[in-house]
Structure 1
Amino acid sequence: MYVGSLYVWRGNLPRDHPNTIKRRFTSVLCVSAVSPLVVLTWTKSMKVRPSPPLWALLGIRLEGFVPAALLPLTLTMILFLGPLTQLAVESTRGLFHDVRAGLNSRSWSKCVKDLRWFRNQVVAPLTEEFVFRACMIPMLVPCTGPTAAIFISPLFFGVAHFHHIIEQLHFGQDSVFEILICAAFQFVYTYIFGAYTAFIFIRTGHLVGPVLCHSFCNQMGFPAIGSVLHHPQRPLILLSYQLGVLLFLILLFPFTDSAFYGMTPVCSLLLTPRSACA
């Protein structure tokens, strides 16, 4: 439904054209509105008991909201310590000046008016995490258990990104081989990221963490590891890459401990008591 809704509109405009972006906003928002009804219908038809309130099941709740917003995002920023250090080193005006400029109201106003920025940082993270995590995982957990759901749900998320091949072939941007290589790489990257946000969703029981992490990763992009090897500050940046990964692995479970977030509603859908949340 999510991917198909992007192609209900007639026209041959590229994905970054304002008209295409606006139409696709409409499509994905409609799918996002329908998806909770699918989850509700499914839980009732399967007679899954006990069942928490629908919105809590979808990760929209107040209990533990602040740590759910801050801790997963902090964890993701730690993982990106290398790229963040590289940005700081390469900043011509200084890191603090760039941070102040980014937090300026005029800067935010300019970003919000940019449809591509609004798509990448707001609409895509919100709707994709809502549909592929908040609405899909509650339907998977009773059938597979939480651990398997973490690795199954991103398969759908990764495959959903294959639709970019259609536009690349249509507009002849690259050779078929290059397009397929790019699609394979994107599938691997989105699968790993999808497993990570599924892990966060199940561990915290909140949607806000995956959404903010998704938005942050869209802003950062895939780390330009190749450029580090020829960077004047290579030892410092390489150290920050390694330190970021090490700290991420150390803090992954402590930062997603349920003690910060209260009960995780999706875990109450487990049909057998022997299963435990990841």
Structure 2
Amino acid sequence: MAPIDMLHKIKSFYTKEPMITASVITPRTAAALSVAFTTLYVLPFYLSKSTRPSPSVNRDAPSVIRARTRAVTSACILTTIIDILIINQYGKSTLLETVRLLGWWPIDVLAIGKTLLLCSILFIGPLFEAGIVEGGWRHWIRGTHVRETLSSWTGYRALVVGPVTEEIVFRSVLIPLHLLAKMSPSRIVFLSPLYFGIAHLHHLYEFRLTHPEIPLLPAVLRTVLQFTYTSLFGFFAAFVYLRTGSLYAAMAAHSFCNWNGFPRFWGKVGVQAGAPIGLGSVKRDEDRTVATPRRDASIAWTVAYYSLLVIGAYGFYVELFPLTESKYALAEFAKDVGKGKRGFWG
């Protein structure tokens, strides 16, 4: 089967007049399987003493991370096998079509690079703060920050285990199910990430277990915030997956966002908490000597940072479709004919 015919068949899973008219799962079945796969990913955390947190051992303990890594790896293998069986049984797909739906092949390096560029545009403010204001660009060039992060179990979890396993389950496994159910790309983008957000709600229990001194309301608000930004990232990752057809592009975006962390939306830039402002002071570490800026420098950096946040958000909006365009796309989003721009809703 020619590549064009194969992509046409894959895209027929969600078109209004599909080539495949029988043996396709229903949206309810896709939702039930998604809940089951999400449960398979999270439930093993609490079935074993080695993965279950306690008041004396939290989720960041190396032994817990290692055990959970084994558990989620097993979950990825199991859910992927089940997914492949469903795709072949109900989608009547060939092996090549199946690996295309799973985002495994082809490995589009250009799509990965453009996705990282898009993420860099969105995070231009935090990158400015970390790289220019705090002088982190020296560590970026030498690669010391990445090496130090990966040398710790928490860093390895954030940059490797989380992005790889979560994108396998919540993008590579769940999205093909929704394509088989003939859901529109728009619905997939806004629905499938909710399972990703729900999968993080168990952190409320873990946080309360290891931080009993924190009142319930702040803990709940913390979890709501986490659900919100994980779901928002899930929207983006699902969009990237459908637009590029690349699981690796979604993984790269996930790892990049974890590396950057949640952007600040308040406070002054370039001033350590409790550091004097006005006369200037000196902070020393192992590699460098950093001068705490005077008030005028701090204000200038702060203005630049928040300006870049706005510029980055606008740039992200403008470049969202151009930088995710790929000939290997699994979905075509509707065009807004009136405005001459692409949009989610058709």
TM bracket, shorter-chain basis: 0.7 to 0.9
User: Could you say what secondary structure the match of 1:162 adopts?
Assistant: coil
Paired with 2:172 and 2:184, the residues of 1 have a C-alpha distance of: 15
- Which of 224, 229, 232 is equivalent to 1:189? 229
Correspondence for 2:164: 126
Counterpart of 1:116 (choices 126, 132, 154) is 154
In the alignment, the residues of structure 2 paired with residue 39 and residue 50 of structure 1 have an alpha-carbon distance, to the nearest angstrom, of 12
Query: Is the 2:87–2:93 contact (alpha carbons within 8 Å) kept by the matching residues of 1?
Result: no
Task: Find 1:78's aligned residue among 121, 130, 144.
Answer: 121
How big is each residue's C-alpha offset from its partner over 1:34-90, in whole Å with a ceiling of 9 and x where there is no partner? 121111222234x22455533222111135x11121011110110001111122342
Counterpart of 2:36 in structure 1 is: none
Q: 1:49 and 1:253 mapped to 2: Cα distance?
A: 31
Alpha carbons of structure 1 residues 22 and 87: separation in structure 2 relative to 1, 3 Å: same
CA distance in 2, matches of 1:234, 1:111: 27
Larger Rg: 2
* Correspondence for 1:244 among 299, 302, 312: 312
Q: Distance in 1 between matches of 2:132 and 2:139?
A: 12
For 2:255, the equivalent position in structure 1 comes to: 215
**d(CA) in 2 for partners of 1:17, 1:251:** 40
Q: Assess if the C-alpha contact under 8 Å between 1:157 and 1:191 holds in 2.
A: yes
Give yes or no for contact 1:9–1:23 (8 Å, CA) kept in 2: no
Return the alpha-carbon distance in structure 1 between the equivalents of residues 262 and 213 of structure 2: 20
Q: Distance in 2 between matches of 1:158 and 1:186?
A: 8
Whether the aligned pair in 2 keeps the contact of 1:141 and 1:267 (CA below 8 Å) is no
Secondary structure of 1:2 counterpart: helix
Partners of 1:95 and 1:121 lie apart in 2 by 18
Task: State whether residues 228 and 238 of structure 1, in contact with CA within 8 Å, keep that contact through their aligned partners in structure 2.
Answer: no
Kept in 2, the 8 Å contact 1:154–1:194? The answer is: yes
Corresponding residue for residue 20 of structure 1? 64
1:170 aligns with 2:238: no
**Aligned counterpart for 1:61 among listed residues 105, 125, 129:** 105
- Could you tell me how far apart the structure 1 residues matched to 2:147 and 2:324 are? 33
**Which amino acid in 2 is paired with 1:209?**
A
| Cα-Cα RMSD | 2.2
Task: Select which of 20, 37, 41 maps to 2:85.
Answer: 41
What residue identity is the alignment partner of 2:114? L
Whole-angstrom CA distance in 1 between matches of 2:304 and 2:133: 12
% same residue: 29
Which region of structure 1 is more displaced relative to structure 2, 150-159 or 10-19?
Answer: 10-19
Which consecutive residues of structure 2, in runs of 5 or more, have no partner in the other structure?
Answer: 1-39, 272-297, 333-342
Which residue pairs with 1:140 in the alignment?
Answer: 178
SS at match of 1:136: helix
Specify the alignment match of 2:328 in structure 1. Answer: 263
Shift of 1:108: 4.9
Counterparts of 2:69 and 2:184, CA distance in 1 = 33
Q: CA deviation at 1:8?
A: 2.0
Report which of the two has the higher share of helix. Answer: 1
Structure 1, unmatched stretches of 5+, are: 269-276
> Counterpart of 1:155 in structure 2: which amino acid?
L
Contact 1:125 / 1:211 at 8 angstroms: preserved in 2?
yes
TM-score, L = length of structure 2 = 0.70
2:79 maps to amino acid: S
Greater relative CO, 1 or 2 (CA 8 Å, sep 6+): 1
Is 2:37 aligned against 1:3?
A: no
Give the aligned length.
Answer: 259
State how far apart, in whole Å, the 2-side matches of 1:53 and 1:163 are: 35
Code of the aligned partner of 1:257? E
Q: TM-score, normalised by structure 1?
A: 0.86
In structure 2, the partner of 1:271 is none
Question: Which letter maps to 2:198?
Answer: V
Q: Residues 187-229 of structure 1, C-alpha deviation per residue, up to 9 Å, x if partnerless?
A: 1111110000000000000011111111111111111111248
